[in-house]
Chains A and B, each alone.
Chain A
């Protein structure tokens, strides 16, 4: 009734939709970095969208199933295999008791998701099973998985069957990204040239890129005055620019507040582009307005509704 961790991979944690509601007390939200892949992995194996899954980073793990069970993968392509046979990405498969599921280095993208029929059955801590490693809270003992861990699964909630997602719903992950950004909340603290530069230059992902945030390399952005502000809240996708002028994009494990001016905010549906970006990937920021950003959010939800409807029809 569980998945046994033979090798966790580079950095693997349990994540769901995140721990909302405690930011006023300073608790980061955490949650799956790629919310679309997380939701689709769950839907593929007959789960509701929000159940806990494993999020693997750059190099996936090796797992043994103790019983027969449906499972699904989505997100980065890590060349997954089931008992030595390749499994296509964005698909549901049936593992047998004793089956070994293996993931390799990411060939495309950065983060892969392994969902299991019924979800991973770990304690719900303050409304969520998401791991926040810096707070040592949630997931499995608040930490990344280790060899020898065993994670139970929960009761199946819907019918599941081996299948592949239609290709049109499976995004590919290139190494040149266009990420949509809403200016603000502190775009007025930058000189006009910095705003123009930000929306035209190419930035590169550095090695300092994790669940908390991605530091980028590229042209420095000049502030009108000081780079520091009276600390305020940091939204998902906030783009902080410290005095050195290079942007830092704040992601799932970000601290709740911070004191650097924020030139813009990556729109929610495009956060998955950062989730799948790795060092040396090149990024261009495209300016959008509120109306367009909301329309993209509506599209994202409609796409998931459609995926859910199609998968339900199939099973």
Chain B
């Protein structure tokens, strides 16, 4: 059944590898995206990798859907044997100042989990998280693999304004807001590395398939890093 081709308008072709949040599935998406970026097929306008599928925007007057779909499937069957398996993952460190006015929901997360605040922070920093995709806003990473102990449902009513750099939890996902936005995630800290849309897009710090590891910093270090960015 998989991979299967889906239609998203006359200019959208979706290659779907499965129906789950799974590192191996996501890796296939990332590899196909890399393959199509490195060695282009005619008519493709843009590609968007997501958790378990790849969106290909194309011009059907240049490349008919059936032909393009067949070329991509052919690329997949060829690529499977030649790609080096398990290329080492890039890990990007994101420093976070946890709690206080930077993390208004940290107490709630700790209380709900029956853990100390220090333990919540230690768990949040305990492992690298795979970036499954970027979406929602420029540079917003959807990260998987949050320790179950600190998984926390979203706010019942989203905040109208979440400051740039805010690090949050939503269910078993974690991530951070690169630009100020409304949002319903539980905010536990803030990173001084909030780039803003334009800076991020011009020099992305990370891409789908990379990993992010959070490290805990104090307020003085936060201020120092925030200033160093100016």
Contacts and interface: CB of A to CB of B under 8 A. Distances in A.
Interface stretch (B44-52, B79-87, B101-109): B44-52
B172 to A, nearest CB: 13
Contacts of A268: 9-11
Contacts of A255: 135-137
A296 B52 CA distance: 31
Contact of B10 (A186, A231, A293): A293
Given A25-B134, A135-B197, A297-B61, A233 B48 contact: yes
Interface string B6-31: 11111110101001110000000000
B201 A20 contact: no
Interface in A5-32: 20-27
A122 interface: no
A167 interface: no
Interface stretch (A65-73, A155-163, A259-267): A259-267
B201 A126 contact: yes
A22 B138 contact: yes
Given A23-B48, A257-B48, A233 B137 contact: no
Given A20-B45, A23-B48, A24-B47, A233 B19 contact: no
B38 interface: no
A185 interface: yes
A135 B61 contact: no
A196 interface: no
B46 A21 contact: yes
Interface magnitude class on chain A: 35 or more
B179 interface: yes
B191 interface: no
B202 A265 contact: no
B127 interface: no
Interface magnitude class on chain B: 35 or more
B33 A231 contact: no
B46 A232 contact: no
Query: Chain A interface mostly helix, strand, loop or mixed?
Result: mixed
A125 B10 contact: no
Contacts of A184: 6-8
A241 B179 CA distance: 27
A297 B8 contact: no
Contacts of B137: 26, 134-135, 255
B222 interface: no
A256 B48 contact: yes
A286 to B, nearest CB: 14
B128 interface: no
A230 B17 CA distance: 12
Contact of A20 (B46, B51, B142): B46
Contacts of A192: none
A301 B61 contact: yes
B7 A182 contact: yes
A155 B137 CA distance: 34
Contacts of A27: 138, 197, 201
A294 B200 CA distance: 35
Given A27-B201, A255-B135, A231 B9 contact: no
B27 to A, nearest CB: 15
Contact of A297 (B52, B55, B60, B133): B60
Contact of A232 (B11, B53, B197): B53
Interface of B: 6-12, 14, 16, 19-21, 33, 45-53, 55, 57, 60-61, 64-65, 133-140, 142, 179, 181, 196-198, 200-202, 204, 207-208
21 contacts: A24-B33, A24-B48, A25-B134, A25-B200, A26-B136, A26-B139, A26-B140, A126-B198, A135-B179, A136-B197, A182-B9, A185-B6, A185-B7, A231-B51, A232-B14, A235-B55, A235-B57, A236-B9, A255-B137, A256-B135, A297-B10
